[in-house]
Amino acid sequence: MNAITRIFALLKKDLLLELRQQYTFYGVLLYIASTVFVLYLAIQQPETDVWNGLFWMIQLFICVNAVAKSFLQESRGRMLYFYTIAGPGNFIIAKLLYNLIIMLIMSLVSLGLFILMIGNPLINFFHFLGIVSLGSVSLSLVFTMLAAIAAKAQQQASLMAIMGFPIIIPQLLLLMRISKAGFGETFKETALSDMIWLLSGLDLLVIIMAIILFPFLWKD
Amino acid sequence: MKLSWWKLLCIVLLSYVLLGGLLMDVPRKAILNETIRNIYYHVPMWFGMMVLCGISVYHSIRFLRKPDMLSDIKATSYAATGMLYGALGIITGAIWAKYTWGKPWSNDIKQVGAAIALLIYAAYFVLRNSITDIDKRARVGAVYNIFAFAMLLPALWIIPRMMESLHPGGMGNPGADPRDMDARMRLIFWPAAVPGFIILGIWISSLTVRIRKIEDKNLLHV
């Protein structure tokens, strides 16, 4: 088997597990629904800036919740098994892809719920949709790597927040900034594409770092 | 007491920065006035922090290539001194900002970047403390150190160039703005203040490394 088939085999295994157990998916879905409902009860229809800020903060917490358990469910023995048949590089790529898919779905669901319950301030819906997809990719990549690190330490969830929030702030700031394109703000001619390129570059950087660094985490 | 040449150089440079920085003439600028002297002490903190954190990452990479507890001790010592420099940089900046921008903290993008850097290194030490196994702690710590540093660089070097800032040189060079310094000031800043504080940081770190070497003698097998 070459690398790509291995990666897809691992990805398929994760997705199948998800489809059979449906624990994370519905768990996080319920998390999104209840959070957005509480927000609706608290603030109903906020201003655009508040909407934007809340949306991205909720994305952040959804991501922590959705990604945190991705390395927990693998027991030591199973990790060793994957290590021998697939190698750490393939394993982390499969995990990155899996979390990316989950996070993409969750982001789109939460966008739908936000528009349904907290109002729709979006003028340029498809711009914002693109930005949300880019944002969910960025968030899921960074937090997958952090989950891999946190899996090696005790107090998983809290550690992920401690390690992750400072690292993700720059990306979140950029995302909140470019989100304003969805609210009808116009940018200087190159500013928007510059920031999108920077975010994509950061995503690429995270993928490369994950592939290089994960083998060192894996060894025990 | 015998000091090696670079320690003597550090003492000479920093004495010059202290005396020259406080006594020599500076250009009179609106709002800034005499506070412009802070540039000798505030800006080198960031140069120092970047260099020290860079050295820390270098030792983390060395640890991953060849596991050796000494590399781990060096990585943490340099990171700790880097954090100290970062904290001093924020404090000197906040004092300066209070008199020139009107308030110590104005959510300027570079202030946010500095705060992010401090949070990241604080998280590095929390992560290390949460792992009890010494080898695993060193390895996981090294991975996080490298990953966090790689994510921090764009935050400190690219994003400030894209966003509006109160700091000089926004949308251009986010470091020292050459327009604010005249020839006399540059004579202190570049040859003395920047290298002086960097060497001081290396000196402090080398002392903590030596203390840790004595404390962890039984771990090092030397």
The pLDDT tens digits for A95-138 are 999 999 999 999 999 999 999 999 888 888 998 999 999 999 99
Supply the range of the domain harboring residue A83: 3-218
Q: Searching chain B, which residue's CA lies closest to the CA of residue A191?
A: B162
Around Cβ A38, how many Cβ atoms within 10 Å? 10
pLDDT digits (tens, 9 = 90+) for A148-192: 898 888 666 788 888 999 999 999 989 998 998 888 877 777 888
pLDDT digits (tens, 9 = 90+) for B12-64: 999 999 998 888 888 877 777 788 888 899 999 999 999 999 999 999 999 99
- Above 60 in pLDDT, residue B171? no
Mutate to test the interface with B, among A141, A160, A167, A174 (most CBs of B within 10 A): A167
Q: Searching chain A, which residue's CA lies closest to the CA of residue B144?
A: A149
Question: Looking at beta carbons, which residues of chain B come within 8 Å of A163?
Answer: 123, 127, 144, 148
**pLDDT in the model for residue B71:** 94
* Pairwise CB contact (< 8 Å): A166 & B119: yes
Q: How confident is the model at residue A207 (pLDDT cuts 50, 70, 90)?
A: very high
> H-type helices in chain A, by residue range?
3-21, 23-43, 48-68, 76-86, 88-118, 125-150, 156-179, 191-218
**pLDDT in the model for residue A213:** 93
Q: Are B109 and B165 in contact (CB under 8 A)?
A: yes
Model ipTM? 0.91
Q: Residue A185: CB partners within 8 Å, gap ≥ 6?
A: none
**pLDDT in the model for residue A205:** 94
Question: Looking at beta carbons, which residues of chain B come within 8 Å of A153?
Answer: 127, 130-131, 140
B153 touches A: beta carbon within 8 Å? no
User: How many distinct structural domains can be found in chain A?
Assistant: 1
Q: Residue B85: CB partners within 8 Å, gap ≥ 6?
A: B45, B46, B48, B49, B52, B197, B201
- Both structure tokens of A186: 């116009």
- Above 70 in pLDDT, residue B222? no
Mutate to test the interface with B, among A146, A168, A169, A206 (most CBs of B within 10 A): A169
> H-type helices in chain B, by residue range?
5-23, 39-65, 69-100, 109-129, 134-157, 159-162, 183-188, 194-215, 217-220
**pLDDT in the model for residue B172:** 44
- Alpha-carbon gap, residue B68 to B216, rounded angstroms: 13
Size of interface A-B (CB pairs under 8 A): 83
- Alpha-carbon gap, residue A181 to A186, rounded angstroms: 6
Mutate to test the interface with B, among A145, A160, A172, A173 (most CBs of B within 10 A): A173
Q: Please provide the average confidence, as pLDDT, over all residues in chain B.
A: 87
Q: Are A6 and A83 in contact (CB under 8 A)?
A: no
pLDDT digits (tens, 9 = 90+) for B99-117: 888 888 988 888 899 999 9
* Pairwise CB contact (< 8 Å): A152 & B136: yes
**pLDDT in the model for residue B209:** 95
Of chain B, the end-to-end C-alpha distance in Å amounts to 26
**pLDDT in the model for residue B48:** 95
- Alpha-carbon gap, residue A146 to A184, rounded angstroms: 34
Nearest to A154 among B130, B151, B158 (CB): B130
B159 touches A: beta carbon within 8 Å? yes
Question: Looking at beta carbons, which residues of chain B come within 8 Å of A202?
Answer: 151, 154
- Alpha-carbon gap, residue A35 to A62, rounded angstroms: 10
Q: Please name the residue that has the structure tokens 């000031």.
A: B185
Phi–psi pair at B173, nearest 5 degrees: -90, 115
